[in-house]
Homo-oligomer: A and B are copies of this chain.
Amino acid sequence: MSKFEVPYKIYLDEAEIPKSWYNVRADMKNKPAPLIHPGTLQPLKFEDMQPIFCDELIRQELDNETQYIPIPEPVYNFYKMYRPSPLTHAEFLEKALDTPAHIFYKFEGNNTSGSHKLNSAIAQAYYAKEQGLKGVTTETGAGQWGTALSMACAYFGLDCKVFMVKVSYEQKPFRREVMRTYGASVTPSPSMDTAIGRKILEDHPGTTGSLGCAISEAVEVATSTPGYRYVLGSVLNQVLLHQSVIGLETKAACDKYGIKPDVIIGCAGGGSNLGGLIAPFMGEKLRGEADYRIIAVEPASCPSFTRGKFAYDFCDTGMVCPLAKMYTLGSGFIPAPNHAGGLRYHGMSSTLSQLYHDGLMEATSVPQTKVFEAAEYFARCEGILPAPESSHAIRVAIDEALKCKETGEEKTIVFGLTGTGYFDMVAYEKFHDGKMEDYIPTDEELAVSISKLPVVD
């Protein structure tokens, strides 16, 4: 018998969708380091960013002070299409594990993009439209961000050009058609369409691409096409701001039912979901109002938190983007073809990097076969077929619950289930056929990649 008298799925009312985003930076004593200009190495000013980003999004990027930023009404109206998302009491999983732990997950997959990415996509598309732009460019790894942006652009009537990491483009052919349904154009990256794409292909023929490469291409097109700007689905402060809607709803649902999390777990690629999920909880922690154990989970094949260096680095492989101070494996690091495409990024959100550096959260890494074991187990217990990315959090949530079984502790575990795996069946097939491998970079590989970091400090 659970100590929580809660429905299996907690749906807040429509009126309980947060009216403002929460900006965790306002409560940080040590602010995230500013983006710096790759030429001058000086902190980027508003004007420096204008050729790349939408004006209002730059303001949000630079704003380390405002605690709450109102959600514009058209964005709020769009949120109604798929929010509030349910906070689910994983009672079937608890029973299967026979654990005294209480497990809850915030499920962001109940929308056509299949993930939380829509939360920021619609905000970014809105500000682009408000500015009178014609369109936006972006990159996508697993395809979730590209799909989300396509949906958002269709809603506001904006053009949308997506560069999709080649390995995902090939593994997920149907993602392209979803994006086309929403009117977007999709190009596999690296491509011959851009100068940087051609250079990358020359230097690394046969590369399966990376988020870093695709970012470079999208930025090149945005800055060279009038009326276009570049938008990004993770890493940036503005994205974590928009994604705070996940955490705010989670917190509201917890408060409503008296659920007090001991452990909060999220997968981490660039940090968009984790940063959003933990935002209000981290805020309480920063303000000394409460304490939570917070765990970032990353793939063993791309372990920026756990094996990277906290230093300034380029956000992209092509080194055309600004430099961010973050945990990084080096912008030249091209991760092995892990199936969690959305987590194949060499760096990590500056905000989360600072919080991790300050000891406010933990991080761990897991190999993909263990992740898919957890994914299948979860699917059979809880019905939902999870995305490989999300399954990193499932893996660690299960491991924590099993520890509770050993110790008898009744911990309350909350994790972020960022999305569904319907477009990841090639990966599941490999797993079922016993053909999935675990790629873990050697110390030497990482040392080489990290040794090439730009000299800034």
The residues of A with any CB-CB pair to B shorter than 8 Å are 7-9, 11, 13-15, 80-82, 92, 110-112, 114, 151, 154-155, 173-174, 177-178, 180-183, 376, 379-380, 382-385, 420, 422-423, 425-426, 428-429, 432
Contact = CB atoms under 8 A, between A and B. Distances in A.
B380 A155 contact: yes
Contacts of A9: 14, 80
A425 B380 contact: no
Nearest to A113: B383
Number of copies: 2
B181 A432 contact: yes
B382 A81 contact: yes
A168 to B, nearest CB: 15
Contacts of A183: 380
Given A9-B14, A112-B420, A385-B112, A380 B177 contact: no
Given A9-B80, A81-B383, A423-B422, A428 B154 contact: no
A382 B110 CA distance: 13
Contact of A379 (B112, B173, B429): B112
Nearest to A14: B7
> What 9 A-B pairs are tightest by C-beta distance, nearest first?
A174-B425, A177-B425, A7-B14, A8-B80, A422-B422, A81-B383, A154-B380, A112-B385, A177-B429
Contacts of A380: 154-155, 181-183
Contacts of A112: 379, 383-385, 420
A176 B38 CA distance: 48
Contacts of A432: 177, 180-181
Nearest to A423: B422
Contacts of A382: 81
A76 B174 CA distance: 34
Given A81-B92, A92-B81, A385-B112, A182 B422 contact: no
Contact of A428 (B177, B385, B420): B177
B181 A428 contact: yes
A9 B13 CA distance: 9
Nearest to A11: B11
Nearest to A182: B380
15 contacts: A7-B15, A8-B81, A9-B80, A81-B92, A151-B383, A155-B380, A155-B383, A174-B422, A177-B425, A181-B376, A181-B380, A181-B385, A181-B432, A182-B379, A183-B380
A357 B154 CA distance: 43
Given A177-B426, A181-B428, 18 more contacts: A7-B13, A7-B15, A7-B80, A8-B80, A9-B14, A11-B11, A82-B383, A111-B383, A112-B384, A112-B385, A151-B383, A174-B426, A177-B425, A178-B422, A180-B428, A181-B380, A181-B385, A181-B432
A324 B290 CA distance: 65
Contacts of A379: 112, 181-182
A416 to B, nearest CB: 18
Contacts of A111: 383-384
Contacts of A178: 385, 422, 425, 428
Nearest to A110: B110
